[in-house]
Amino acid sequence: MLRGSNLLRLADYNEAVVLDLIRRNPGKSRADLQRDSGLASQTISNITRRLIEAEMIRESAPSNTLRGRPSIPLAVNGSGTFSIGVHIDPARLTILLLDVAGEVRDWKQLRTPQATSPEDMTSLIAVSTGRLIRESGVDRDRVLGLGIAVPGPLDVRTGVVLDPPQLPKWRDVRLRADLHDATGMPVLLDKDVTASATAELRHSDDADFLFIYLGSGVGASVVTQGQVLRGVSNNIGEIGDILVDPSAEDLGWSGRRGGLAAACVPEALVIQASQAGLLPLPDLDDYLAIDDACTTLTELAASGNTVAQALLYRAAQRVAVGIGVLVNFLDVPRVVLGGPAWNRLASTFLPILEDAVRSELVVSRDVFSVVGSAVGEQIAAQGAAELVMDHFLAPRPSVLFMD
Amino acid sequence: MLRGSNLLRLADYNEAVVLDLIRRNPGKSRADLQRDSGLASQTISNITRRLIEAEMIRESAPSNTLRGRPSIPLAVNGSGTFSIGVHIDPARLTILLLDVAGEVRDWKQLRTPQATSPEDMTSLIAVSTGRLIRESGVDRDRVLGLGIAVPGPLDVRTGVVLDPPQLPKWRDVRLRADLHDATGMPVLLDKDVTASATAELRHSDDADFLFIYLGSGVGASVVTQGQVLRGVSNNIGEIGDILVDPSAEDLGWSGRRGGLAAACVPEALVIQASQAGLLPLPDLDDYLAIDDACTTLTELAASGNTVAQALLYRAAQRVAVGIGVLVNFLDVPRVVLGGPAWNRLASTFLPILEDAVRSELVVSRDVFSVVGSAVGEQIAAQGAAELVMDHFLAPRPSVLFMD
């Protein structure tokens, strides 16, 4: 398998440095690489030759320079190396194929089967991954591995999903090992918010932002000076219990009354909508039914239903209080919202969120913005695939463990 | 002045690397330094000779080794270089002399004059600093500079205190430039919470913790992987508005009802104590009177007054909710509390805080602790002095600006 030999050769630190420079800065010439890496001209020449032979990078047409030899731009070979990203949200299962140039080659979103055992989920992911790779015409041996983003809490070191409140049948699931057995691929497990922030960072010019994840649950991640914070146990971002409305109604729900989750996750929104007479209460053990009811609620608001609009407006105001807590605490200049539930809420939330958060800020800010993600609702799967690329291709070995 | 020549010589990056290694790891030999720095033997030899001549480091008695030349331990010369740290809390003004070995040579705490203009405060600090240096017998030319820790918000780049709610007469005060003019010393301005976390980090074995500052106000800072986060505008840590008790009583106070500040800062506690009939309401424009009343409240509790005990117990429970928000968000394994108001509250807070915070955590933790600071109530001044040392002596130039 090409993969094995790639990995062996990438044990060469200098080669990883050069490949990483090319991957992150397409168009660099050998002279650029020499200057940026501090390596000798002959070393750069040898490394780039080996990378070209392994089809990991390629040369473009030389550009004319005023003097001397023409400068040949180098770039990673998008068809040379791939990774798979998977995101398990309780309502939506996303599977994505990423190439080393950062392009999403294909992605699918399925409705997550409800009340499914971890074993059935593992089989479904393995089958769907195989189909995605086949349909895309990619050589499976060129796929470095599979990254999987899941709701926390989890143990990243051992690759175990602990006891996510939104996956009630999942307790201490060895998801990384099971997926490795089912696919034969190296598997990396990480939290949905961490994967999402990683994808956002890669597709943004900003090095400092707070990422708010909205799916079946709500979470947060922080990017500071270009680094994604992950927390000491890799479980950053549990923000659902933050109190945002002391006078909030009782939802008869497991989440904290008046908390951020009770203010904005689909399950809480559809309970509120049901209490307001907007729609019948769906089966709350069925995240698909909840997700569909949430879609109905946002469609009602879009079609002019003022009760639905007021409900979502109130939700946005409450979310602003929660974001205000985090911005006041960490002093970040930018907030980015994304995740599977975000697109449906964006049209109500975005017009009011920035001003509403500003009114919560203790320190006045000239530069402050609240925006929607640039990546799209596949963001967590894309980030999981990016994390696999980083694990194998970045010159500093990741702390993450893989099966 | 020796200081000037020191600074010029420290422009030599290699010399700064070597001095920093010695400063942070007392007892290193030249062979250790050669290995740790990657510098050549002759370079180490030249640099250590120059540092000894400048009285910045010294040799200790050689230890016997089994073979070869005896190994001579090197350490910074504690009498060679100093810095001053100042902390302006609305109730307490702290001035501290630190030596380069990290020892506090002397410190004074004054009652902060109330309703004082920034000009009078600058003069008081300049006079008190001069007296502290004289009384300690230190050569003023060996003092690198003065670091000053203040409540936020502030503009660290320009050295301006913006509009701290607890210093109502202070608006856009050019404190760094004014203190430079008044003392003739380089001056560094930073936030009280950032300075405190810096001092805690230097005196702790932990590289990841949340620091909760309790003075006339409440704030937080975060240390992650040995780095103190400061926020993009250096204004990290505004946590007073975090809702901690939806049913909290109305204090008729400027802070957010039910918020963390209303739960635990001395001003809010004495209002609560007055409402409970424990003591007469002091003049709330007088932080000294508030501070004294807070002392009375804690003494009442210590002497067995059950109403005072219940009031402080409730405060601790509320603080635990706020700390829970931050721990859930950032996934930190340790919380450290400190600052000028901490010592008086510790005996009530510490016995219950860890369990109370644990009950707020979404992710269960094997390793989690809530502890009091190892440094003491001079922590912010000490941290400000440490920041000055780092600014001048660390091999990576700080982003901080100085007058």
pLDDT tens-place string over residues B347-364: 999 999 999 999 999 988
**Which residues are bridge partners to A91 per DSSP?**
none
Q: A128-144: buried (b, 16+ CB within 10 Å) or exposed (e) per residue?
A: bbeebbeeeebeeebbb
Query: Is residue B63's pLDDT more than 90?
Result: no
- Residue range(s) occupied by CATH 1.10.10.10 in chain B: 2-76
Q: Is B32 on the interface with A (CB under 8 A)?
A: no
**In terms of Cα–Cα distance, which of A309, A308, A373, A366 is closest to A342?**
A373
- Contact call for residues A186 and A180 (beta carbons, < 8 A): yes
Most confident region among A52-61, A259-268, B34-43 by mean pLDDT: A259-268
Query: Is residue A2's pLDDT more than 60?
Result: no
Q: What's the whole-number mean pLDDT along residues A192-220?
A: 96
The 10 Å Cβ neighbour count of residue A61 is 7
Judged by CB atoms closer than 8 Å, whether chains meet at B235 and A331 is answered as yes
Find the residue in B nearest to A242 (Cα): B325
Confidence grade of residue A284 (pLDDT, cut at 50, 70, 90): very high
Q: What's the whole-number mean pLDDT along residues B154-180?
A: 91
Q: A219-228, pLDDT tens digit by residue?
A: 999 999 999 9
CA B19, B21, B25, B30 torsion-angle sign: negative
- From the list A237, A239, A328, the residue facing B238 with the nearest CB is A328
Q: Is it true that domain B205-372 has CATH number 3.30.70.1140? A: no
Quote the percentage of chain B above a pLDDT of 70. Answer: 94
Q: Which two tokens stand for residue B311?
A: 């009031």
Residue A364 has a pLDDT of 85
Residue B396 has a pLDDT of 56
Confidence grade of residue B237 (pLDDT, cut at 50, 70, 90): very high
Q: Cβ contacts of residue B197 below 8 Å, gap of 6+?
A: B211, B221, B222, B223, B228, B383
Cis preceding linkage at A153, omega within 30: yes
- From the list A247, A333, A363, the residue facing B152 with the nearest CB is A363
Query: Is residue B50's pLDDT more than 80?
Result: yes
Cα angle value B20/B22/B24 (rounded, 5°): 70
Query: Is residue B154's pLDDT more than 90?
Result: yes
Query: Is residue A362's pLDDT more than 70?
Result: yes
d(CA B268, CA B251): 7
Q: What's the whole-number mean pLDDT along residues A207-223?
A: 97
- Residue range(s) occupied by CATH 3.30.420.40 in chain B: 82-199+379-393, 205-372
Residue B267 has a pLDDT of 97
Q: What's the whole-number mean pLDDT along residues A54-77?
A: 82
d(CA A272, CA A300): 14
Query: Is residue A338's pLDDT more than 90?
Result: yes
Q: What's the whole-number mean pLDDT along residues B184-197?
A: 96
3-state secondary structure of A76: strand
Confidence grade of residue A67 (pLDDT, cut at 50, 70, 90): low
Find the residue in B nearest to A225 (Cα): B232
Residue B281 has a pLDDT of 97
Q: Cβ contacts of residue B186 below 8 Å, gap of 6+?
A: B144, B145, B146, B180, B388, B402, B403
Find the residue in A nearest to B219 (Cα): A329
Q: What's the whole-number mean pLDDT along residues A355-373?
A: 94
Q: What's the whole-number mean pLDDT along residues A295-323?
A: 98
d(CA A77, CA B4): 54
Q: Is it true that domain A206-372 has CATH number 3.30.420.40? A: yes
- Contact call for residues A385 and A195 (beta carbons, < 8 A): no
Q: B166-181: buried (b, 16+ CB within 10 Å) or exposed (e) per residue?
A: bbeebeebbbbbbbbe
d(CA A245, CA A154): 29
Architecture of domain B2-76: Orthogonal Bundle (1.10)
Q: Cβ contacts of residue B82 below 8 Å, gap of 6+?
A: B97, B98, B99, B100, B105, B133, B138, B142, B143, B144
Element (H, E) at B73: none
Confidence grade of residue A11 (pLDDT, cut at 50, 70, 90): very low
Q: What's the whole-number mean pLDDT along residues A178-199?
A: 96
Q: What's the whole-number mean pLDDT along residues B249-262?
A: 93
Report CA dihedral (A293, A299, A305, A309) to the nearest 10 degrees: 80
- Contact call for residues B145 and B227 (beta carbons, < 8 A): no
Q: B5-20, pLDDT tens digit by residue?
A: 344 344 477 888 899 8
Query: Is residue A86's pLDDT more than 90?
Result: yes
Chain B CB contacts of A152 below 8 Å: 363
**Which residues are bridge partners to A336 per DSSP?**
A211, A371
Quote the percentage of chain A above a pLDDT of 70. Answer: 94
Element (H, E) at A119: helix A118-136
Chain B CB contacts of A359 below 8 Å: none
Confidence grade of residue B64 (pLDDT, cut at 50, 70, 90): low
- From the list A162, A208, A328, the residue facing B232 with the nearest CB is A208
Residue A346 has a pLDDT of 96
Cα angle value B158/B161/B165 (rounded, 5°): 155
Query: Is residue A385's pLDDT more than 90?
Result: yes
d(CA A175, CA B307): 52
Q: Is B365 on the interface with A (CB under 8 A)?
A: yes
Query: Is residue B365's pLDDT more than 90?
Result: no
Chain length of chain B: 403
Choose from A249, A331, A357 for mutation: most chain B CBs within 10 A: A331
Residue written as token pair 């109502």: B168
Architecture of domain A82-199+379-393: 2-Layer Sandwich (3.30)
Q: What is the mean pLDDT of chain A?
A: 91
Choose from A329, A360, A396 for mutation: most chain B CBs within 10 A: A329
Q: Sort A217 into a burial class: Cβ within 10 Å, 0-12 / 13-18 / 19+.
A: buried
Q: What's the whole-number mean pLDDT along residues B270-297?
A: 96
Residue B5 has a pLDDT of 33
Query: Is residue A396's pLDDT more than 80?
Result: no
- Contact call for residues A161 and A192 (beta carbons, < 8 A): no
Chain A CB contacts of B329 below 8 Å: 220, 236-239, 242, 326, 329
Q: Which two tokens stand for residue B332?
A: 């930190």
Among A315-324, B28-37, B210-219, the least confident range: B28-37
- Residue range(s) occupied by CATH 3.30.420.40 in chain A: 82-199+379-393, 206-372
Residue A9 has a pLDDT of 43
Element (H, E) at B178: helix B175-183
d(CA B236, CA B213): 12
Least Cα separation, residue B128 to chain A (angstroms): 31
d(CA B268, CA B169): 21
Query: Is residue B163's pLDDT more than 80?
Result: yes
Q: What's the whole-number mean pLDDT along residues A107-113?
A: 93
d(CA B207, CA B213): 18
